[in-house]
Amino acid sequence: MEKEIMEKYEKAGKICQEAKELARTQLKPGLKLLDLAESIEKLIRDKGGEPAFPVNLSLNDIAAHYTPDIDDTLTLKEGDLIKVDIGAQVDGYIGDTAFSVRLGEKSDTLIKAAEDALESFIKEIRPGKTVGEMSKLVEEVVLSHGVNPVRNLAGHSLEQYKQHGGLSIPNGHIPSKEEIKEGQVLGMEVFTTTGEGLVKESSPTLIYILLQPKPVRLNESRKIMQLVIEKFQTLPFARRWLKGVGSTAMLQLALKELTSKEVLREYPPLREKSNGLTAQAEETIIVLDKPIITTRA
């Protein structure tokens, strides 16, 4: 990896570290998720980066892809299990990290299972390891805690302006002989659950990504498409980031047109299929003989 690219990955990771520290200081009952998301995203920009995706603040049985909506009033309460998933990018080079907290509890088996599986992955990952080997390791560590991995979620490679690259490392074992290569950058995330271990799409959709520009009818649709091309490119964005485009009703109509014409793809919230609680742990890893964890001090 070129030195300049490495430095950008490391800067993005450092910003993620600071964003995690900020988030941990704010988590308490009564906190509005919208305020938390906006403060994290502001820090990312203030430190010289841009969000690689909207901050995900997923509660309880929602595993991923919930970010606050425009004027969202959802607040944290005692006992909530929150996943804070943060991404920062510098010239498209991404840091991706996540942690979980159970409000009012000092320890939680789900969180420990996710963190221990991630730590085991970090200790073992080297160039030449296979997806099969590493997915088996994650599954075994999670199961040893008496909970389940979320089998249809996975760690993933990171590429410039691509949050999900071509490599996937599932939380449940698959017999893949695909090798993990030197210099690959991984957003390795582990999801655990008290449920059966599968997620399904839920609602409302609050996160989108550009697929390809196409002719559209509504003026608001054209404005959104141009804004996405200029500011977000091929990275996910939040509906609340489009607040100035038009009224709430027109914004919803425009997004409906853009998704129906396959200009945009939706990322609905992912809910555990049996309504089990979920936890998440994630770090960004540059795969070398001595791996570099960019999102950890």
Residues assigned a catalytic role: 85, 96, 156, 164, 189, 282
Which token pair is 268? 């609905």
User: Sheet containing 207-210: which strands, arranged edge to edge?
Assistant: 237-238, 207-210, 264-267
Q: Are the CB atoms for 232 and 86 separated by under 8 Å?
A: no
Q: Coil, strand or helix: which one is 193?
A: strand
Specify the DSSP element, H or E, that contains 44: helix 33-46
SS3 content of the chain, % helix, strand, coil (to 5): 35, 25, 40
Q: How many whole angstroms separate alpha carbon 208 and alpha carbon 269?
A: 11
Q: Are the CB atoms for 268 and 202 separated by under 8 Å?
A: yes
> ∠ at Cα 127 (124, 132), nearest 5°?
65
Specify the DSSP element, H or E, that contains 59: strand 56-59
Q: Coil, strand or helix: which one is 249?
A: helix
Q: How many whole angstroms separate alpha carbon 175 and alpha carbon 130?
A: 9
Q: Are the CB atoms for 267 and 201 separated by under 8 Å?
A: no
